[in-house]
Structure 1
Amino acid sequence: MVSATKEMVAYCFDTLLAHYNSEEPPAPAFDEGQHPLFVTWKKVVNGSETRLRGCIGTLEARSLMNGFKDYALNSALKDRRFPPIQLKELPYLECTVSILTDYETASHYLDWEIGKHGIIIEFTDPEYSTRRSATYLPEIAAHEAWTKIEAIDSLMRKAGYNGTITESLRKRIKLTRYQSTLCTMHHSDYVSYVKATRGAAPSIIGAKPGSH
């Protein structure tokens, strides 16, 4: 099974840095393969607190290199919930890559474990007769200290459902659970990793020495 690695996180930082430098990122040193994946950017504020700055991925299998390249930029620049990440934020960023595995159809909407499973819900909006779906990665419910029902209700809102949430509607949810491996690095860890593996620190073109 393929696991998330520091090299994958470094490639996401490389890709974002290359975007600001208007160049191509260096080729990554991880094995190719087809897997569902997500890239999450957070910004460290007040020394230790983190705030989400973007999280986008795919539940369909993608080639790892192209997938991380696409979603590193999409999650940093095109998550509609947030303004695009600016170059000046780079030193405060933390990046997490997730590779999704072990998809299973749950027997009912509570058939999953907080902290272990990510969940995908699909249901029909009774008011508009439209299909709605959304996902939370495995770490979300635990981080928010939600119960399973709170996580499900929040996910229904994320899917765009604005009506009354009833138990009968919850019972009509089709739930798919999955697991993930993840790896997280702060920008300073990325700089140290690049120095150790490539012999030189990553640089921002046009920046004065010591200014970033």
Structure 2
Amino acid sequence: MVSANREMAVYCFDTLVAHYNSEDAPPPAFDEGQHPLFVTWKKVLNGGEPRLRGCIGTLEARCLINGFKDYALTSALRDRRFPPIQAKELPQLECTVSILTNYETADNYLDWEIGKHGLIIEFTDPEYNTRRSATYLPEVAAHEGWIKVEAIDSLMRKAGYNGTITESLRKRIRLTRYESTLFTMHYSDYASYVKATRGAAPSIVGAKPINS
């Protein structure tokens, strides 16, 4: 089984740096394969709690190299919840790459473990008779400190449902649970890695160099 690793996080940073510099990213140092994946960018300021700046991925299997290239940029620049990440923010960024595995259909909306399972919910909005769906990665519920019902209700809101959440509606949810491997890297570790392996720290048009 392929696990998320340092080279994948490096490639996401390489892709974003190359975008700002209008150049091509160096080839990645991991093998091709097909898996569902996500790229999450967070901003860390003065040692505080990392703040989400973008998180987008795919629940369908994608070629890893093209997938990480696409979603590194999409999550950084086109997550509609946030303004696009600017080059000057790079030194404060951390990148988490996730590879999703072990998809299982749950028996009901409570048939999963906090901290272990990611969630995909699908349900019919009774007001508009439309299908809605949304997902949370495995780390979200634990990070937010939610119990299961709170996580499910939040996910229904994320799916765009604005009506009253009732127990009967929760029971009609189709829930798929999954697991993931992930790797998180801060920009400073990325810069050190690049300097050690390529002989010079990355330089970014429009960003101040960091002292490493």
TM-score, with length taken from structure 1: 0.96
CA distance in 1 between partners of 2:166 and 2:90 (Å): 43
Q: Paired residue for 2:41?
A: 41
Q: Paired residue for 2:117?
A: 117
Q: Paired residue for 2:137?
A: 137
Q: Paired residue for 1:76?
A: 76
Structure 1 segment 89-128 matched on structure 2, within 5 A: 89-128=89-128
CA distance in 2 between partners of 1:98 and 1:63 (Å): 14
Q: 1:180 to 1:95 in 2, by over 3 A?
A: same
Give 1:196 deviation, angstroms: 2.4
Runs ≥4 residues deviating over 6 A: 206-212
CA distance in 2 between partners of 1:91 and 1:107 (Å): 44
Q: Give the percent of matched residue pairs that are identical in Structure 1 and Structure 2.
A: 83
Q: 1:47 to 1:207 in 2, by over 3 A?
A: closer
- Paired residues of 2:35 and 2:61 also in contact (CA < 8 A): yes
Q: 1:93 to 1:106 in 2, by over 3 A?
A: same
Q: 1:210 to 1:134 in 2, by over 3 A?
A: closer
Q: Paired residue for 1:188?
A: 188
- Paired residues of 2:89 and 2:207 also in contact (CA < 8 A): no
Q: CA deviation digits over 1:119-163, x for unaligned, max 9?
A: 000000001110000000000000000000000000000000000
In structure 2, list runs of 5 or more residues that go unmatched. none
CA distance in 1 between partners of 2:156 and 2:136 (Å): 11
In structure 1, list runs of 5 or more residues that go unmatched. none
- Paired residues of 2:87 and 2:207 also in contact (CA < 8 A): no
TM-score, with length taken from structure 2: 0.96
* SS state at 1:36 partner: strand
Q: How many residues align?
A: 212
Q: Paired residue for 2:161?
A: 161
What is the root-mean-square deviation in Å for CA atoms of aligned residues? 1.6
Q: Paired residue for 2:147?
A: 147
Give 1:199 deviation, angstroms: 2.6
Give 1:210 deviation, angstroms: 6.5
